[in-house]
């Protein structure tokens, strides 16, 4: 499945949280892996879900309209979604160590997509 970059946030030039549109009606959010089991439990994610952490600015247009986003208090938000496991998508993403990607319905980030 082909991914098209929508927006990227590269503060340090090494890690680049990003938002990609898929060929379907979904979006892939690339960010720092959330691995803290207590935090994941607090998020009450559905079975099989995962979360990534991204700078708040990456999703600024939808911060107030997407209730599942969880602000961290230090300029980032936790984004829940289904972990990207598709080999072609992962090849395109080339995720650096410590990063993961989750897939979410495009309707969750419609405000971001309209702004770009």
Three-class DSSP labels, 29-65:
EEEEECCCHHHHHHCCCCCCCEEEEEEHHHHHHHCCC
Taking residue 50's Cβ as centre, other Cβ atoms within 10 Å add up to 20
pLDDT tens-digit profile, the chain (116 residues): 789 999 887 766 566 899 999 998 899 999 999 999 888 888 999 899 999 999 999 998 888 888 889 999 999 999 999 999 999 999 999 998 999 999 998 887 776 767 65
Q: Which residues contact 24 (CB under 8 A, 6 or more apart)?
A: 1
- Give the per-residue pLDDT at 89: 95
| pLDDT score recorded for residue 10 | 72
pLDDT at 80: 96
Contact 72, 78 (CB under 8 A): yes
Smallest CA-to-CA distance from 13 within 87, 80, 96 is with: 96
pTM of the entire predicted model: 0.90
Question: Could you tell me the residue ranges of all domains in the chain?
Answer: 4-108
Task: With beta carbons less than 8 A apart as the criterion, state whether 96 and 15 touch.
Answer: yes
pLDDT of residue 22: 93
User: Residue 29 has what pLDDT?
Assistant: 96
């Amino acid at each position: 499945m082909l991914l098209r970059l929508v927006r990227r946030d590269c503060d340090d030039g090494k890690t680049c949280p990003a938002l990609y549109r898929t060929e379907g009606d979904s979006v892939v959010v690339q960010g720092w892996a959330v691995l803290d089991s207590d935090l994941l439990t607090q998020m009450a994610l559905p079975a099989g879900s995962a979360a990534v952490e991204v700078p708040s600015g990456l999703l600024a247009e939808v911060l107030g309209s997407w209730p599942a986003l969880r602000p961290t208090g230090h300029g980032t938000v936790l984004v829940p979604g289904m972990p990207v496991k598709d080999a072609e998508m992962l090849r395109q993403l080339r995720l650096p160590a410590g990063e993961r990607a989750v897939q979410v319905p495009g309707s969750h980030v419609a405000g971001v997509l309209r702004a770009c």
